[in-house]
Structure formats: C-alpha cells, structure tokens
Structure 1
Amino acid sequence: MQSYLQDNILYINKKDLPEYKKNASIVRNNYFWALKSISGYSPPSADWEFEPEVWFALSRMLLFFTNSGYLGYSETVLEFSEDTIIPDVLRQVSSKL
C-alpha cells in the first residue's frame, strides 16, 4: 500500500485501501473495518490518516493479516518512497518503492 508521512501522520493512498463490499470475502471486509477502526480520518474519497498513537496497533494488525495468507503482500505492506525515513515501529511492515 503506497504510504507517506507528513507532519508526523501516516497516510495510506486511497487507491491501495481495501474496499468494503457487502458480498465480498469476510477476511477482506474484516481487514477494511479493522483499518478503518484505528484510522484517525478515513473519508471514502481521500487517503486515510493514522496518528503515531496507533502505529503499533497498525503494525501488529498488518502482520496478522500478512501472516494469515488470505491477503496478498502488496495489500498488507506499507510502501514508502526511497527518501522516507521509516519509523522503527512501522519498519517490520514496510518496504521502499
């Protein structure tokens, strides 16, 4: 998921966020609601925001969904630009583009 940091807020690009679909997989819908529940701001047409206070929970949640095997790696890993300094708490669930 393409991500970036700005003013100590983590943003996940709206095009990479999971979508809620009424008849979709339970795992995908749970993933959507889990991310939305810890997001500080999650409008349907913009990037979602995550404050530093939830980064630890976000990291553990992404690891859980990655290890479940139901979702693809690109759906559960935060991707940052090469010049981004990734905070330690997010390092295990992040990669660089």
Structure 2
Amino acid sequence: MRARIEQEILYLHHEDVPPFKKGGSIVRNSYFWALKSIAGRAKRGRDWEYEPEVWFALQRMLLSFAESGYLGLSETMLEFADDAIIPDELRSISTRI
C-alpha cells in the first residue's frame, strides 16, 4: 500500500486500502475493519490517516495478516518513496517504491 508521512501522520493511499465487500471474503473484510478501527480518519475516496500512537498496533496488525497467508505482500506492506524517512515502528512492514 502506498504510504507517506506528513506532519507526523501516516497516510495510506485510498486506492490501495482494501475495500469492504458485502458477502466478500471474511479475511479481507476483517482486514478492512481492523485497519479502519485504528485509523484517525478513514473516509471513502480519501487517504486513510494514522497517528503515531497507533503505528505499533498497525505494524502488528499488518504482520499478522501477512503471516496468515490469505493476503499478498502488496496488501500488507507499506510502500514509501525512496527519499522518505521510515519510522522504526513501521520499518518491519515497509519497503521503498
């Protein structure tokens, strides 16, 4: 998922956040609700926002879903620009574009 940090807020690109689908996969829908539950803001058509206080929880959540084998790495890894600074709390679930 494309990610960036501005003024200490982590933004996940809205097109990369998993959509909720009524009658869809239980794992994907659980993933959607888990991500949404700790987001500071998660509006349709807008980038989702996460404050530094939840980054550690986000890291654990992404690792858990990645290890489950039901979701691909592109869905559970944060992709930052080459020149972005990646905080320690997010390093284990992050890569560079």
Q: Same fold (TM over 0.5)?
A: yes
SS of 1:14 mapped into structure 2: coil
2:42 is equivalent to residue 24 of structure 1: no
Cα deviation for residue 57 of structure 1 reads: 0.1
Cα deviation for residue 85 of structure 1 reads: 0.7
Residue 95 (structure 2) aligns with: 95
Residue 43 (structure 1) aligns with: 43
Structure 1 segment 1-97 matched on structure 2, within 5 A: 1-97=1-97
Query: In structure 2, what is the Cα distance between the partners aligned to 1:89 and 1:4?
Result: 14
1:67-92 deviation line (CA, Å, top 9, x unaligned)? 00000000000000000010000000
Cα deviation for residue 45 of structure 1 reads: 1.1
TM-score normalized by the length of structure 1: 0.99
TM-score normalized by the length of structure 2: 0.99
SS of 1:4 mapped into structure 2: strand
User: Percent of aligned pairs with the same residue?
Assistant: 59
Query: In structure 2, what is the Cα distance between the partners aligned to 1:6 and 1:66?
Result: 25
SS of 1:62 mapped into structure 2: helix
1:16-65 deviation line (CA, Å, top 9, x unaligned)? 00000011100000000000000000001100000000000000000000
Where does the alignment leave 5 or more consecutive residues of structure 1 unmatched? none
Query: In structure 2, what is the Cα distance between the partners aligned to 1:65 and 1:89?
Result: 17
Supply the RMSD in Å over aligned alpha carbons.
0.3
Matched length: 97
Where does the alignment leave 5 or more consecutive residues of structure 2 unmatched? none
